[in-house]
Amino acid sequence: MNNKITSGTNRRSFLKSTAFGTLGITAISTGLISSCKTKPTDENTFGTVSQAINSGASSVVTRKNIASFAVNDPELQLLKDAVAILRKRSEKWPLDPTGWSENGALHTKFCATTEFTYQVHYSWYVWPWHRTYLWTLEKKLQHAVGEPKLALHYWDWTKHPSIPEQYQGGKENPLYNDTRLVEPNDIIPFDFMNMGPALRAKKFMTFGGYPFPYKGQGPQIDGIAEQSFHNNIHNWIGGEMAGFVAAGYDPIFYGHHGNCDRFWQAWLDADQSHRNPLEASWLEKVFYFTDEKGKPIGIKIKDVLDTKKLGYQFEDLDFNSEDGVYNSLEDKVVPSYDLVKASGIYNTSLEEERKVQSVEKIDLANASHVLLKYERTQLPYMPYCSRVFFLFGDAQPSPENCKYIGTFTILPIVSAEGGKLEKDVYMHVEITRSIRDRIGAGEKIRVFFEPVQVRGRNIPDEPLEVKNITYSFV
């Protein structure tokens, strides 16, 4: 059966208005296919894939904000047609590696597991893995319609903080998903999109996650970008998006993660000191996917760090609302202390923490973030979303002694067995100079977890008593 779309007014008008060439994308595809003549574990395969990526992109497509397109835009229609083809392939054969179902299942395999061997979340692998995931899908979509000018889009929720109409309309729209819990007019709370702490993070580990533990000995720790706006918006949407098991089946996943991929580039551009890791254990890490024809491929992180070499770029890196109310760097809109109605308070102090964790003494003058740790098993339900506040001293909350720290979501890990990922939560929180000084002075801190109500989920009435919180400084 020929899946290529070769006619139609929309298709022709899109081609006339697009000035991209096809040579570079074809070179990438050909390289990936030829590289699979050996098993994916053969080291020779990786070199061939690397050469194909690095030499291929004389043509670069531009990924754009999907909310900026008219619902009948020919470029958007091309994307819908391609997704529809992948869906039909899965209807015919659910295990088709170029189909929509198998693409979603791939995310389940590497994101909904407690197996250290496979899990890419809670570590510094999360952003390069998802970039590669989106890129391989883009190749399959391009191949499905025979059009290398097709580009995945991103959903810039700072400019359009509700589900774009491009993802709505019912089952006749291939980008629609009926499990989402939000209503069309629901607005994402501004603090759910709070990017400032991640954008200001000095180190990649704080922004993007910690190294993968050697042989599973040690914790997997995600970065502030993952546990804040990434998780928050997954949870806010609800349905399949509110967990790792089925998120990859909802087309809005790719708009959301396209925006997260865009944010990674924005973080690098925000400060000349921001750098990706240089360790070989990161650069040489191999991810396994399938190419546009379903052939297995292995791709190293070092080969996906330049998006233009992959064949795409972003229309812009501006993460600010058009009305100026939301500013990604300045955090103008944050919850006030008046919202503190905490269901549980845990008392601790820097001195107590040092006794528990034996934190190495560091220069507090250079500390910008605190890493909180507590037990995941204490959470009454998941996904769990909360606003976190620091309260200093023993007094009741006031503007002077209560500080909003951030809004975080803990997404569920599904497993029949207990494991490290199910036991502990590590949470990066940004601290200002005044907070840093008060911590350095040994002032007592109480940590407020204020659960956030989202549509379709209930907050339990029983108090949340979080114990054994410890701190370290980063």
d(CA 283, CA 310): 16
Per-residue DSSP letter, 38: S
Output the pLDDT for position 414. 61
As a whole number of angstroms, the longest Cα–Cα distance in the chain is 72
Overall fold of domain 9-314? di-copper center containing domain from catechol oxidase (1.10.1280)
Please, are residues 175 and 83 in contact by the beta-carbon 8 Å criterion? Answer: yes
Please, are residues 426 and 410 in contact by the beta-carbon 8 Å criterion? Answer: no
User: What are the φ/ψ torsions at residue 451 (nearest 5 degrees)?
Assistant: -60, 145
Task: For residue 470, give the 3-state DSSP assignment.
Answer: strand
Residue 387 tokens read as 């606003």
Q: Which helix (DSSP H) or strand (DSSP E) does residue 84 occupy?
A: helix 74-92
Spans of all domains in the chain: 9-314, 337-473
User: What are the φ/ψ torsions at residue 86 (nearest 5 degrees)?
Assistant: -65, -35
d(CA 319, CA 321): 7
What residue type is 221 in one-letter code? I
d(CA 232, CA 229): 5
In our burial notation (b when 16+ CB lie closer than 10 A, e otherwise), range 24-43 reads bbebbbebbeebbeeebeee
Nearest residue to 233 (alpha-carbon basis) of 294, 468, 225: 225
DSSP-H helix ranges across 279-431: 280-283, 307-310, 350-357, 420-423
Output the pLDDT for position 449. 83
Please, are residues 156 and 65 in contact by the beta-carbon 8 Å criterion? Answer: yes
Please, are residues 450 and 341 in contact by the beta-carbon 8 Å criterion? Answer: yes
Output the pLDDT for position 349. 72
d(CA 108, CA 243): 10
Output the pLDDT for position 344. 62
| Dihedral, 115, 117, 118, 119 alpha carbons, nearest 10 | 60
| Dihedral, 391, 395, 400, 406 alpha carbons, nearest 10 | 20
Output the pLDDT for position 279. 96
Encode pLDDT of 378-401 as tens digits.
Answer: 777 778 898 888 888 877 777 778
How deeply is 109 buried, as exposed, middle or buried, from its count of CB atoms within 10 A (0-12, 13-18, 19+)?
Answer: middle
Please, are residues 324 and 69 in contact by the beta-carbon 8 Å criterion? Answer: no
Nearest residue to 137 (alpha-carbon basis) of 79, 92, 202, 216: 79
Nearest residue to 439 (alpha-carbon basis) of 431, 447, 429: 431
Output the pLDDT for position 318. 94
Output the pLDDT for position 229. 96
Please, are residues 15 and 149 in contact by the beta-carbon 8 Å criterion? Answer: yes
Using only C-alpha atoms, the chain has a radius of gyration, in whole angstroms, of 23
| Angle between helical axes of 74-92 and 9-17 (0-180°, round to 10) | 120
Residues 6+ positions from 16 with CB-CB distance below 8 Å: none
Indicate the pTM of the whole model. Answer: 0.86
d(CA 396, CA 391): 8
Q: Can you list the residues of the chain whose pLDDT is less than 50?
A: 1-48, 51-52, 54-57, 358-361, 416-418
Nearest residue to 412 (alpha-carbon basis) of 436, 450, 385: 385
Task: For residue 357, give the 3-state DSSP assignment.
Answer: helix
Residues 6+ positions from 47 with CB-CB distance below 8 Å: none
